[in-house]
Amino acid sequence: MFIFRKFKVAPHERALAFHEGEFRTLLMPGKYKLLDPLRKLKFEKVNLREVYFKHENLDVLAREFLLRKNLDGEVKVLELADHERAFVFVDGRFDRILKPGLHVLWVALRKVRVDVVDTREPVYASADLPRIVRGSTLENEANVIDLKDHERALLWVDNRFRMALRPGLYLLWKGLHDVRVEVVDASGVLFNHREQAAVLGNGNTQYVLNPFTVEAGQVGLWFLDGSFMGLLKPGTHAFWTGVGKLKLLLVELRERTLDISGQEIMTNDKVTLRLNAVLTYRVTDALKSVTVTEDAAQALYRESQLALRAVVGARELDALLTDKDAVAAELEAIVKAKAPEFGLEVRSLGIRDIILPGEMKELMNKVTEAKKAAEAALINRREETAAARMQANTAKILEGNPVLMKLRELEVLEKVAEKSNLTVVLGDGGLKDRVTKLL
């Protein structure tokens, strides 16, 4: 005689079927009539309203569930390592945190989400964290830190700086690492810390701290919400982000050069020429140099242009060319008086080049050539007059001294004899009566 067993599984239930103690199948909701002549079948009902499955043979059943792919939508198997935790959300609400070990969750009836977290990463942050903190006791698992808008946190892991935290809610996992947290009031914006180099050297601070380096020969200025807060000396400084509207400026204090080139200016006598000037300056008041004008160097350039036009335009070309140093001195005095308004000091201003138009160069060359020719003719006339005067004086001397005349004659003969074949016969007569040329 066949022995049948009738069995009913409700919609919110599942049934585990065992044969001689071994799991065979999972029965879905419905009515069953099963042949069991030897009464070796055993059924265990599971209420799917209870998400977490407990069983004395949980490890065996978990392996069986994993092997049967048709059960993926029915059951979820988790095996958490020592460094893992799992947050379970049921029907959109946080339910509990699962510790290391084997866990089996029924997911067919309820909407179940599981977030597995690696606690080797010491900090955990999530949009779900407020619900997690309110819905569970975490004292044995993690420390909860809630940073306000004006607060930041510096995190050290095993005595090494790890990261800086912005305002928000965080979990700091316990157990695997020695975690130390320093909560800092960031309302002062400027960051000062005894271990500042280690903090700024970590790339995880880039969204929390804004580093700012001032080199030698420079000065930094920082403004908060439009107000000037102070000067920054050479070195590395850091500012908390997200506290206010921060503005950082670098100002060069070393002497700098400004080329004022290609300035076309008309002189007082209507000659258009081109000037190139060189100006050296330095910043003496950093705050004024960035607040009085948008660009202090450009403002100084503009003032130098105006001064060039005023000084050169008031002079004729000849006066400009002959007294270039006086023009440069006048220019320098004008620009020096204007520079302090921009927080600057002019060290020097000089005219480097004066470039004339082509036709003006030709005219100037002709004038110069004529002047030089006149000077040469005048010198020649002066030399001829002086030579004639000397000859007249010599003649007077020779006329009154016959012996000197004889010596002079002999000198002339010596010079002539060097270049000509002459026979000289000396007698009582004069030289002019005794010279016979021999061919």
Burial of 13 (0-12, 13-18, 19+ CB in 10 A): middle
Tokens of 3: 């022995």
CA 83 to chain centre: 42
- Site of tokens 């138009």: 357
Angle at 250 (CA atoms; ends 245, 256), nearest 5 degrees: 155
* Other CB atoms within 10 Å distance of the CB of residue 200: 20
DSSP 369: H
Going through 300-390 in order, the beta strands assigned E by DSSP cover 344-355
Asked whether the predicted pLDDT for residue 221 surpasses 70, the reply is yes
Read off the pLDDT of each residue in 44-66 and give the average, rounded to a whole number: 91
Spatial distance between the Cα atoms of 62 and 59, rounded to a whole number of angstroms: 5
Q: For residue 363, what pLDDT is reported?
A: 56
Instruction: Indicate the SS3 state at residue 281.
Output: strand
Sign of CA dihedral 30, 36, 39, 40: negative
User: Cβ distance 124 to 87 under 8 Å?
Assistant: no
Q: pTM higher than 0.85 for the full model?
A: no
The CA–CA distances, whole Å, from 193 to 47, 155, 157, 232, 238 equal: 58, 13, 17, 16, 10
Q: Over the chain, what is the mean pLDDT? A: 85
User: Cβ distance 258 to 280 under 8 Å?
Assistant: yes
Q: For residue 437, what pLDDT is reported?
A: 43
User: Maximum distance among all alpha carbons in the chain?
Assistant: 195
pLDDT in tens, 285-297: 999 999 999 999 9
Res. 34 pLDDT band, cuts 50 70 90: confident
* Ranges 55-59, 82-86, 392-396: which has the least confidence: 392-396
Spatial distance between the Cα atoms of 103 and 56, rounded to a whole number of angstroms: 12
More confident residue, 295 or 375: 295
Q: For residue 439, what pLDDT is reported?
A: 38
Spatial distance between the Cα atoms of 277 and 375, rounded to a whole number of angstroms: 34
Asked whether the predicted pLDDT for residue 438 surpasses 50, the reply is no
Q: For residue 280, what pLDDT is reported?
A: 94
Counting residues of the chain whose pLDDT is more than 70, the rounded percentage is: 88
Which range of 61-70, 115-124, 390-399 scores highest in mean pLDDT? It is 115-124
Spatial distance between the Cα atoms of 170 and 122, rounded to a whole number of angstroms: 10
Read off the pLDDT of each residue in 269-284 and give the average, rounded to a whole number: 88
More confident residue, 265 or 162: 162
Res. 313 pLDDT band, cuts 50 70 90: confident
* Ranges 73-82, 291-300, 365-374: which has the least confidence: 365-374
Helix or strand (DSSP H, E) at 23: strand 22-27
- Site of tokens 């220019």: 331
Sign of CA dihedral 154, 155, 159, 161: negative
CA 74 to chain centre: 57
pLDDT in tens, 161-186: 999 999 999 999 988 888 899 999 99
Asked whether the predicted pLDDT for residue 386 surpasses 50, the reply is yes
Res. 436 pLDDT band, cuts 50 70 90: very low
pLDDT in tens, 330-364: 889 999 999 999 999 999 988 888 877 656 555 55
* Other CB atoms within 10 Å distance of the CB of residue 314: 13
Q: For residue 69, what pLDDT is reported?
A: 82
Q: For residue 251, what pLDDT is reported?
A: 95
CA nearest 251: which of 302, 297, 300, 301? Answer: 297
Q: For residue 212, what pLDDT is reported?
A: 94
Q: For residue 333, what pLDDT is reported?
A: 92
Going through 65-141 in order, the beta strands assigned E by DSSP cover 75-80, 84-90, 93-98, 101-106, 112-118, 123-124
More confident residue, 363 or 403: 403
Q: For residue 420, what pLDDT is reported?
A: 61
Spatial distance between the Cα atoms of 199 and 383, rounded to a whole number of angstroms: 89
